[in-house]
Chain A
């Protein structure tokens, strides 16, 4: 389990703002264990585009870009 960075607390009202402002290059951990780096953040506080680097539940996902819903994001990882 990768370490979740505490400075990016995505919970609550402030979490929505932090999610909105996440910058490309940061890595996110999803609730199914997949990890991807941010390609584009449309800054709508809702979706984010990830380039998957690791996806234990779905091997074919690695290397793919996908739009991810905020509810699926567990946190920012190192």
Chain B
């Protein structure tokens, strides 16, 4: 369907804001309230969204509050069947939050307004006046008033995902060619599936910008690195010293490969894509400052080398990842970044950091200290990036500024598809903006689609590629 957007200069078709020939996107799409509200309806109600990690819910009754777009969801491990479920954090009586804590363990969730109370399976088990002759007098049908549960939920190698749309495809189909990369990134450093836990509580902070600024274009954005992070790179403060902080590419170059920027225009996912040409894992390279940490990782690495000795690792292997799972989840080895939209000009960033769940304490401490100094809200790289993200929004929303287009033309016209490659996976030069363009192909498809019947992969012959 042709979707129109209300602007200060009258209604305009959504498609008119994207020029696929020139490679431009009008700033209106980042600052317009009408666009934002349609995004919540068309994208965030339909997409599979990242909620958290199973290591946050080890025990029956453990819970945490996550987000799906602008709405909060309560994720909880039931005390009886021990299944993990996700519910809208909104009481069925008057809509108050039934849980106002970030995480914890609880027997029940009691709404502080009228005491409607739910157990850990989301069932309504109590309400003020439920048995009073002057109240419900026992007539409240509790089975009809449980918490609103997500339509689909999955635990994918420890990562928890959900969608509000019962007609959405399976999560693996949603990921498409990126599924094996997500699985790989959930491995422990010994190569065992679902080998991680995440540090809790998460680091969370809000940034005054539109959610698409970081979510769509920070993975992969090769040209920003040299400029924005020049001082960090020069200081070589990464976990692998010169390998990570300075010459980042050397480690992954130990196995013959070709590195692209890629974007799947049908799925919206994409970022870095390192295609390895030989099986195996390179020898471990020491790099940690803390005593004993390299000893641990070297030992784990031997096990991983054995697993992959005859296999080619997935495209994001060897810490070479950095890609976006559409619309708002960026996976970068064991650094996971989620961008939760709050308002058209406010996004909440969550940083999750994984570590081997069976690692000894001194290793977990070393990894935690690293991610805090490197990637936290006061970490070296994040403060670099936030300078840019913060100022993009106010500098783009004025009466004059909003008329102009953003340029997404880096590498436009040079993308290619490989024979037999699935869907609309397009490869391009390692410094191109192919992944950003793929995000907008998928974005427009979602915005215009009436239902999943119009969208890949349910519509298997769809071609959402805009440019």
Interfacial residues, chain A to chain B (CB-CB below 8 A): 32, 40, 42, 44, 46-47, 49, 67-69, 71-72
Do residues A47 and B131 form an inter-chain contact, with CB atoms below 8 A?
no
List 25 interface pairs A-B (beta carbons < 8 Å), by A numbering. Answer: A32-B131, A42-B107, A42-B108, A44-B110, A46-B110, A46-B115, A46-B117, A47-B108, A47-B110, A47-B115, A47-B117, A47-B126, A49-B107, A67-B108, A67-B119, A67-B126, A68-B126, A69-B115, A69-B128, A69-B131, A71-B128, A71-B129, A71-B132, A72-B131, A72-B132
Measured CA separation A68–B125 after assembly (Å) = 9
Measured CA separation A68–B129 after assembly (Å) = 11
B130 at the interface (CB under 8 A from A): yes
Given contacts A42-B107, A46-B110, A46-B115, A67 and B128 within 8 Å (CB-CB): no
Q: Interface readout for B101-132 with A: 1 if CB under 8 Å, 0 if not?
A: 00000111010000101010000011111111
Taking the nearest CB of chain B, how far is it from the CB of A47, in angstroms? 6
User: Interface residues of B: mostly helix, strand, loop or mixed?
Assistant: loop
What B residues does A42 contact at CB under 8 A?
Answer: 106-108
What A residues does B108 contact at CB under 8 A?
Answer: 42, 44, 47, 67
Measured CA separation A67–B110 after assembly (Å) = 11
What B residues does A47 contact at CB under 8 A?
Answer: 108, 110, 115, 117, 126
Give the B interface residue count (CB, 8 A): 15
Measured CA separation A47–B124 after assembly (Å) = 13
Do residues A69 and B107 form an inter-chain contact, with CB atoms below 8 A?
no
Chain A to chain B: the 6 pairs with minimum beta-carbon distance, closest first: A42-B107, A67-B126, A67-B125, A46-B110, A69-B126, A44-B110
What B residues does A40 contact at CB under 8 A?
Answer: 107
Q: How many A-B residue pairs have CB under 8 A?
A: 33
Residue of A nearest to B119 (CB): A67
Given contacts A42-B106, A47-B108, A67 and B117 within 8 Å (CB-CB): yes
What A residues does B126 contact at CB under 8 A?
Answer: 47, 67-69
What B residues does A67 contact at CB under 8 A?
Answer: 108, 117, 119, 125-126
What A residues does B115 contact at CB under 8 A?
Answer: 46-47, 69
What B residues does A69 contact at CB under 8 A?
Answer: 115, 126-128, 130-131
Taking the nearest CB of chain A, how far is it from the CB of B120, in angstroms? 11
Measured CA separation A11–B36 after assembly (Å) = 51
Measured CA separation A67–B130 after assembly (Å) = 11
Measured CA separation A67–B127 after assembly (Å) = 10
Residue of B nearest to A45 (CB): B110
Taking the nearest CB of chain B, how far is it from the CB of A67, in angstroms? 5
Taking the nearest CB of chain A, how far is it from the CB of B122, in angstroms? 14
13 more contacts with CB within 8 A, not counting A42-B106, A42-B108, are A32-B131, A44-B108, A46-B115, A47-B108, A47-B117, A47-B126, A49-B107, A68-B126, A69-B115, A69-B126, A69-B130, A71-B132, A72-B131
What A residues does B127 contact at CB under 8 A?
Answer: 69
Measured CA separation A72–B117 after assembly (Å) = 15
Taking the nearest CB of chain B, how far is it from the CB of A46, in angstroms? 5
What A residues does B119 contact at CB under 8 A?
Answer: 67
Measured CA separation A50–B108 after assembly (Å) = 14
Measured CA separation A42–B107 after assembly (Å) = 6
Residue of B nearest to A43 (CB): B107
Residue of A nearest to B106 (CB): A42
Residues of B129-152 whose CB lies within 8 A of A:
129-132
A40, A46, A49 interface centre (most CB from chain B within 10 Å)? A46
Residue of B nearest to A32 (CB): B131
What A residues does B130 contact at CB under 8 A?
Answer: 69
Taking the nearest CB of chain B, how far is it from the CB of A25, in angstroms? 17
Taking the nearest CB of chain B, how far is it from the CB of A41, in angstroms? 9
What A residues does B110 contact at CB under 8 A?
Answer: 44, 46-47
Residues of B334-360 whose CB lies within 8 A of A:
none
Measured CA separation A51–B132 after assembly (Å) = 20
Residue of A nearest to B130 (CB): A69
Taking the nearest CB of chain B, how far is it from the CB of A68, in angstroms? 7
Residue of B nearest to A70 (CB): B115
Measured CA separation A40–B105 after assembly (Å) = 14
What A residues does B107 contact at CB under 8 A?
Answer: 40, 42, 49
What B residues does A49 contact at CB under 8 A?
Answer: 107
What A residues does B131 contact at CB under 8 A?
Answer: 32, 69, 72
B115, B125, B127, B131 interface centre (most CB from chain A within 10 Å)? B131
What B residues does A44 contact at CB under 8 A?
Answer: 108, 110
Taking the nearest CB of chain A, how far is it from the CB of B78, in angstroms? 15
Measured CA separation A8–B131 after assembly (Å) = 23
Residue of A nearest to B138 (CB): A58
Q: Interface readout for B317-349 with A: 1 if CB under 8 Å, 0 if not?
A: 000000000000000000000000000000000
Measured CA separation A35–B107 after assembly (Å) = 22
Taking the nearest CB of chain A, how far is it from the CB of B323, in angstroms? 43
Residues of B77-121 whose CB lies within 8 A of A:
106-108, 110, 115, 117, 119
